[in-house]
A and B are shown apart, each in its own frame.
Chain A
Amino acid sequence: MENYSVTDIMAPVSEYTHLPVGSTVFDAVLALEHTQEEYNCTQYKHRAVLIVNNENKIVGKLNHADALCALDPGDEEDFETNDLLRFGFSGEFVRKLHHKRKRSETLSLERICESALSLKVENLMRAATDSECIDHDANLSMAIHQLAEEKLYSLLVTKGDDIIGILRMTDVFSAVYHTMVEFTGTGRES
């Protein structure tokens, strides 16, 4: 594993669709749907879009889950979601209450989508914070630690102040697979 660096297996940012800050959720959904079609029909392998600022610098990443969050924004004032865990109630109880409340809400899917259309991508994207970034010189052991520790599906690979690529969990897993096969001298039977 020490033989791999993150730049060996990352996907360069040029492979991704870019959306400027200020784009709406609808723009993001269109872009994501397009990437999904590409994913299914071609060799295009990415299911996220990158958000760039006015200077064309990458400032964040947005995937399907992030877009769905726009449809389920939660309620910061919601005592059940925010506080019950703090008071020692079980996650199961909190989820049960949450589901019950959702069932009682009568908003149609159309209405939910309509209310989310105008939201801006910068409010939903995963910003390029320290915990989401990894230096291009890092090795895969460090990347595995960070993915596991932060429970992330991908990392933004940085070089200086710039983001140069995306390190996806599937690519890391693939590297792990090859290392194990090499180590044991076995492989998938064809």
Chain B
Amino acid sequence: MKLDQLYKRIIQRVNINLREFSFNAKPFVDGVVSYDQLTQFYGFYGITSHHPLDFEFSHSNLSGSYFLGKCSVINSILYKSDIRGDELKEKGTVYQYGNFSIPLDNYEGMRIENSFLIKTLVHNYSHDPEMPEKFPIYNTIAMHYANIHGAPMDGSFLEPFATVDLTTTNDCIVGSYSYVQVGELNHFRLAPGTVWVRSKGNFNFLYKYPAQQLKKYIEFTAGEAPKGLLIDFIRNYKDDFQRVFETVGNTIPVPVPETSSVDRFAAVDSETTIQDNVLVAQRALLQNAWMGKGANAQENCFIINSRLSANDITAHGAKIINCDLGETVFVGFNSFIRGGTDKRLSIGAGCIIMPHTILDVETSFEIPPAQLVWGLITCAEDLKTNSIPLEKLKETKGNVRLGEMYFEGDGEILLTAFHERILHILEANGAFFDGNDNKGHAQQNQNISYNTIQPYPSGDHEGMYPAIIIKP
């Protein structure tokens, strides 16, 4: 069978790249997605007037995956993954990297080759100045709910809920629930639950989850499917998404202002409120959610029984349950923020919840405004070692250890980097649209046509998609 041959080819390519670690991907991946799952779902792509239409699919399986923008998929298996090319660099623009102004002669394109991505999000644009028009993902396996965000990659293995952000990555293993944003990472193995943000010469932030406590939320071992609270939580809402994907022309059950966009592949209930300039991406789930002006919920986000104020950001994969957020709160990638059903969690305005934060409390809990929050917090006591007022961070120079967090460098530069990133996200998502100017995804992603593509239904090519080139 071609699909089986392809699977073995990808495993081998990854193992070759990771041989220095004596790593064998096979026991981690075998059986995690069944053959039936790979052959029963259709792939689909979006057409808009705002993004280039330039797809090439060859010798691949695209089961349940979504594509937007310029993208090639060669010799790869993509299972329920989102390849979202709506922030790729545009032809004729100039990419500024440090002191380099790099003119772009072509649209940037994603190219996925010899890779296996499972429920993975690929988004943003290549931050590698050496290949400004290419965003490659080669010889890589990414497990459930991994995020490859602006991160060209070769020969790497991303465990479940791992995020590689704005980092060119070669021959690396990124452990479960680890987040890395360091610009460039080569031949490195990150243990599960490592949160590492570094700007060389400016700052270095490192947090390591207590291994045993992390296992309650996510555990991934060879020969077993990923397990833990995060997996169980998502599984509870499987039916909600199944309804969305099975229904042709899914109708959003609540009013959506003209300035806002709720993707037809988002699961939204009738108790939800959408205000202006809101973006709700595909595979987001909103139940009894109040989305203030300019707020957003990106792919794989869950917002349940929660109120988001103006310009709140829920980054890819973040989950917010039983919470009230002040204005301009940033909740980073894959964070799990959960208050009690009756004893809610309140997060003050301007707070920055670091990517991959688990804030899981059952008593009434309040985080004051303007705090940086990270790591595992299950009670008020934890907040002493897992947060710092932004004003204090700004004054931090040198080195600090707080609990399991290590910081060295200039806190003000870290804070400025965060604020610039938050501003960029709000701008890109259209939070500041005034009726004429400052359009972003919330306004531009409203009118998307979706076409489906399907694999061979039987025979030697069963599950393989025919070679397809799609252009205007």
CB within 8 Å of B: which residues of A? 79, 84, 87-90, 92-93, 96-97
Contact = CB atoms under 8 A, between A and B. Distances in A.
B46 to A, nearest CB: 39
A87 B204 contact: yes
A4 B406 CA distance: 52
A88 B200 contact: yes
B399 A93 contact: yes
Contacts of B408: 89-90, 93
25 contacts: A79-B208, A84-B206, A84-B406, A87-B196, A87-B198, A87-B204, A87-B206, A87-B406, A88-B182, A88-B198, A88-B200, A88-B204, A89-B204, A89-B206, A89-B399, A89-B406, A89-B408, A90-B399, A90-B408, A92-B399, A93-B399, A93-B406, A93-B408, A96-B399, A97-B401
Contacts of B208: 79
B299 to A, nearest CB: 29
A93 B401 CA distance: 10
A92 B409 CA distance: 12
Contacts of A92: 399
Contacts of B182: 88
A176 to B, nearest CB: 39
A93 B182 CA distance: 19
A87 to B, nearest CB: 5
A93 B198 CA distance: 15
A172 B80 CA distance: 68
- Across the A-B interface, give the 9 residue pairs with the lowest CB-CB distance, nearest first: A93-B399, A93-B408, A87-B206, A89-B408, A88-B204, A88-B198, A89-B204, A97-B401, A90-B408
Contacts of A84: 206, 406
Contacts of A90: 399, 408
A90 B200 CA distance: 11
Interface string B29-49: 000000000000000000000
Nearest to A84: B406
Contacts of A87: 196, 198, 204, 206, 406
A92 B208 CA distance: 20
A97 B400 CA distance: 9
Given A79-B208, A97-B401, 13 more contacts: A87-B196, A87-B198, A87-B206, A88-B182, A88-B198, A88-B200, A89-B206, A89-B408, A90-B399, A90-B408, A93-B399, A93-B408, A96-B399
